[in-house]
Amino acid sequence: MSGYLFSRLLQTLVTLFVMSVLVFGGLHMVGNPVDVLLSPTATPAERLEVIRSFGLDQPVWVQYGIFLRNALSGDLGNSFVYNQPALHLILQRMPATLELAAAALVMALALGLPLGIYAGLRPNGGLAKAIMAFSILGFSLPTFWIGLVMIMVFAVQLGWLPSSGRGDTVDVFGVPLSLFTLDGLAHIALPAFNLALFKISLVIRITRAGVLETLQLDFVRFARAKGLPEARIVLVHVLKNTLIPLITVIGLELGSLIAFAVVTETIFAWPGMGKLIIDSIAVLDRPVILAYLMITVVMFSVINLAVDILYSIVDPRVRLEGN
Amino acid sequence: MTEASEPASWARRGAEAAPPSASPFRQTLGALLRDPLALIGIVIVALLVIGAVAAPQIAPQDPYDLAQLDIMDGRLAPGSQSMTGMVYLLGTDDQGRDLFSAILFGLRTSLLVGIASAAIALAIGASVGLFSAYAGGRTDAFLMRIVDIQLSFPAILIALIFLAILGQGVDKIILALVVTQWAYYARTVRGSALVERKRAYVDAARSMALPDRRILFRHILPNCLPPLIVVATMRVAYAIMLEATLSFLGIGLPVTEPSLGLLVSNGYEYLLSGDYWISFYPGLALLILIVSINLIGDSLRDILNPRREG
């Protein structure tokens, strides 16, 4: 186990290093952030001053060395635009994104699991066919477009829910969360559902496939022969075996929810880190782009590790090996 | 696994209806045409492709020839008539551009980017996957580790970072989509190639001292095609959707090459004032395109029955 953890840690560090070199070098090649930072009326002397103050007069490897040394002590540089530590900017917006992703994941499971189980139990029924048709539609709906349609219907036409922003928040252990206020819930409902739609389809499909497959297995036939109530067979025995592939998918999809929050946050003006990265890309705010990348790599590595460990707990046949 | 032992016949369902001498391709196509949902998908995709290819001929106006636009016709509702008597079937945008024409031209860009990126990613991914399976050992472990690491990051994140570096442009978004997609093909092909390379016909080809490259591409690859076709169909749909999303976010295509995503983005600011059609119809066209491709993919998956979810 410790060998396994060590090899995973090593892999994460290598990924971080390679990604940072690629992105640092790439961003260096595309353009000079000075043009973005300076007003067109700046004098050449001011220009030189800005270049010097950001260390942009150094060769790229020296700049990378400085970046690396600072990064190791927890300093990912200051945002060119906000003039605040990039790390701080991102961490400040992280709770909003994580809250949105978590709400979407809960929605995906709460809707996807029952629908998927039903479709698996009665694969040829009319309702099951309708559920599967919905899941194809859910896969195909462009997130950004369905978000606009949702704003159009629920915010503009019906006026039921607000179209943008985060609403009131309550501090829970110092972290502002909107799930505990009515206003906050009203604000998160549309964006969370928007983000969840794709995943609902995914959960339906995986659950259905798992149920269909598990129902064929001998232990189900045995449980039936033993006269166990059908509800118990489905909810305990079949569901348990269906959850195994689902856990992997949920883990990976949590990461993808966080990444796709970029789209939802842009549409619903949700003040999370996705909106920050889009704005930063538009103005080439290098430190923020780099810091966002570093943080997501770490975050995804942690999620993947958690999934693997959880997987080995749920399914004892799976052994973790370091290689 | 029974279908894998008969590499000559891909199709499981509906194969009996085609003459046994028919090629695997024709058997699959036959089964596809007998699935009503797939047939609907094929017809719609065909219509959209024709509409996109023939856009300059059939569109009521050239949406990017400023001389044909009349700013007085800006933001007209669907079905309105222009002063010259032309009917704007789906309305106009803020520039007075006929949305129906803009959608036809947008489809061109979306299809081009989707298909080109999928084709390049397929060529690269399939080669890597084949090579990896054939080489085995450390090479295989190393390549698959890279694939695993890349697949643990969502495609949109990788595309986002790449486009942040590369900037906007058709070539750049195709490159970014290739980078995000190749690993799916590599993993799929490697999976089937690992099974295929142990088969007798590969031993036979080896014993004839055929060159490795010929065995890989002429003998093993054709037998890896069924799952690859399914994955490729789904991936084209995904690539089109991803391009639209990135363009909507303003980091994909430049304003001079409007894809469907960019059209949706243009109408965004008029949505709250009730002029829904500027965003709605281009998005609807995108949705219909993607649903149709996915219907075909879904049916193909049932027919070819690969062992893995695409």
Residues A42-89 have pLDDT tens digits of: 777 777 777 777 677 777 777 788 778 877 777 777 787 787 888 888
pLDDT at A318: 64
Chain B residues in contact with A263 by the CB 8 A cut-off are 156, 245, 248-249
Mean confidence (pLDDT) of chain A? 80
Mean confidence (pLDDT) of chain B? 79
pLDDT at B101: 81
Instruction: Calculate the alpha carbon distances from A114 to A103, A119, A126 in Å.
Output: 17, 9, 16
- B216-250 pLDDT, tens per residue? 888 888 888 888 888 888 889 989 999 889 888 88
Instruction: Calculate the alpha carbon distances from A80 to A70, A126, A130, A209 in Å.
Output: 16, 57, 51, 49
**Contact check, Cβ <8 Å, B251/A293:** no
Cα torsion B108, B109, B111, B115: sign: positive
Chain A closest-CA separation from residue B106 CA (Å) = 15
Nearest to B287 among A145, A252, A262 (CB): A145
Would you write out chain B's pLDDT as a tens digit for each of its 310 residues? 333 444 444 555 444 445 556 677 778 888 888 888 888 888 988 898 888 888 777 777 777 776 666 666 666 667 666 666 676 666 777 676 778 888 888 888 889 999 999 999 999 999 999 888 888 888 888 888 888 888 878 888 888 888 887 877 888 889 999 998 999 999 888 888 888 888 888 888 888 888 888 888 888 888 888 888 888 888 899 899 998 898 888 887 877 777 888 888 887 777 777 677 778 888 888 899 998 998 888 888 878 764 444 3
Of the candidates A119, A91, A116, the residue with the CA atom closest to the CA atom of residue A299: A91
pLDDT at B306: 46
Chain A residues in contact with B291 by the CB 8 A cut-off are 136-137, 140
**Contact check, Cβ <8 Å, B154/A140:** no
Cα distance between residue A7 and residue A312, in whole Å = 17
Chain B, nearest residue to A12 by Cα: B149
- A85-108 pLDDT, tens per residue? 888 888 888 888 888 898 999 999
Instruction: Show which of residues 163-192 on chain A sit within 8 Å of chain B, judged by CB atoms.
Output: 163
Class of CATH domain B32-53+88-302? mainly alpha
Nearest to B249 among A30, A206, A266 (CB): A266
Residue to mutate among B40, B161, B241, with most A CBs inside 10 A, is B161
Q: What share of chain B is helix, strand, coil (3-state, %, to 5)?
A: 70, 0, 25
**Contact check, Cβ <8 Å, B290/A142:** yes
Q: Which segment of A264-278, A304-318, B187-201 scores lowest on mean pLDDT?
A: A304-318
Chain A, nearest residue to B260 by Cα: A145
Inter-residue contact A270 to A166 (CB < 8 Å): yes
More confident residue, A275 or B55: A275
**Contact check, Cβ <8 Å, B283/A156:** no
Give me the amino acid identity at B122. L
Burial B51-64 (b: 16+ CB within 10 A, else e): bbeebeeebebbbe
Q: What are the structural domains, with CATH classification, of chain A?
A: 86-314 (1.10.3720.10)
Chain B residues in contact with A150 by the CB 8 A cut-off are none
**Contact check, Cβ <8 Å, B241/A151:** no
Chain B closest-CA separation from residue A301 CA (Å) = 8
Q: What is the mean pLDDT of residues A251-275?
A: 85
Residue identified by tokens 């993919």 is B297
DSSP string, A107-127: HHHHHHHHHHHHHHHSTTSHH
Residue identified by tokens 């001498």 is B21
pLDDT of A157 above 60: yes
- ipTM confidence score: 0.78
pLDDT at A94: 87
Q: What is the mean pLDDT of residues A231-247?
A: 79
**Contact check, Cβ <8 Å, A281/B163:** yes
Cα distance between residue B55 and residue B300, in whole Å = 29
Cα distance between residue A129 and residue A202, in whole Å = 15
**Contact check, Cβ <8 Å, A289/B161:** yes
Inter-residue contact B246 to B159 (CB < 8 Å): yes
Inter-residue contact B64 to B105 (CB < 8 Å): yes
Nearest to B165 among A27, A144, A262 (CB): A27
pLDDT at A1: 66
**Contact check, Cβ <8 Å, A323/B268:** no
A140 touches chain B (CB under 8 A): yes
pLDDT at B89: 66
The contacts of residue B264 (CB under 8 Å, 6+ apart) are A142, A144, A145, A148, B244, B248, B279, B282, B283, B286
Chain B residues in contact with A255 by the CB 8 A cut-off are 152-154
Nearest to B249 among A151, A255, A263 (CB): A263
Q: What is the mean pLDDT of residues A161-165?
A: 75
Chain A closest-CA separation from residue B211 CA (Å) = 33
Chain B residues in contact with A137 by the CB 8 A cut-off are 291
Chain B closest-CA separation from residue A227 CA (Å) = 33
A vs B: CB pairs below 8 A: 114
**Contact check, Cβ <8 Å, B261/A144:** yes
Q: How far apart are the first and last CA of chain B?
A: 17
pLDDT at B123: 92
Of the candidates B161, B159, B193, the residue with the CA atom closest to the CA atom of residue B174: B159
Q: Where are the beta strands (DSSP E) in chain A?
A: 170-172, 175-177
Instruction: Calculate the alpha carbon distances from A174 to A92, A98, A171 in Å.
Output: 11, 15, 5
A281 touches chain B (CB under 8 A): yes
pLDDT of A175 above 50: yes
Of the candidates B157, B152, B180, B247, the residue with the CA atom closest to the CA atom of residue A277: B157
pLDDT of A279 above 80: yes
Q: What is the mean pLDDT of residues A165-192?
A: 74
Q: Taking the domains of chain B in order of start, what are their residue ranges?
A: 32-53+88-302
Inter-residue contact B171 to B163 (CB < 8 Å): no
**Contact check, Cβ <8 Å, B272/A30:** no
A323 touches chain B (CB under 8 A): yes
Inter-residue contact B236 to B306 (CB < 8 Å): no
Chain A closest-CA separation from residue B118 CA (Å) = 17
**Contact check, Cβ <8 Å, A148/B165:** no
Instruction: Show which of residues 284-313 on chain A sit within 8 Å of chain B, judged by CB atoms.
Output: 284, 289, 293, 296-297, 300-301, 304
A214 touches chain B (CB under 8 A): no
- A4-22 pLDDT, tens per residue? 778 878 887 888 888 788 8
Chain A closest-CA separation from residue B292 CA (Å) = 9
Residue to mutate among B248, B275, B296, with most A CBs inside 10 A, is B248
Chain A residues in contact with B251 by the CB 8 A cut-off are 278, 281-282
Residue A59, classified by CB atoms within 10 Å of its CB into exposed (0-12), middle (13-18) or buried (19+), is: exposed
Inter-residue contact A225 to A135 (CB < 8 Å): no
Burial A183-205 (b: 16+ CB within 10 A, else e): ebbebbbbbbbbbbbbbbbbbbb
pTM for this prediction:
0.81
Q: Which segment of A12-21, A213-222, A305-314, B16-25 scores lowest on mean pLDDT?
A: B16-25
Chain A residues in contact with B270 by the CB 8 A cut-off are none
Inter-residue contact B229 to B10 (CB < 8 Å): no
pLDDT at B5: 41
Chain A, nearest residue to B157 by Cα: A259
Q: What is the mean pLDDT of residues A109-125?
A: 87
Q: At B87, which helix (H) or strand (E)?
A: strand B87-88
Cα distance between residue A177 and residue A170, in whole Å = 5
Give me the amino acid identity at B164. A
Chain A residues in contact with B264 by the CB 8 A cut-off are 142, 144-145, 148
Cα distance between residue B26 and residue A251, in whole Å = 40
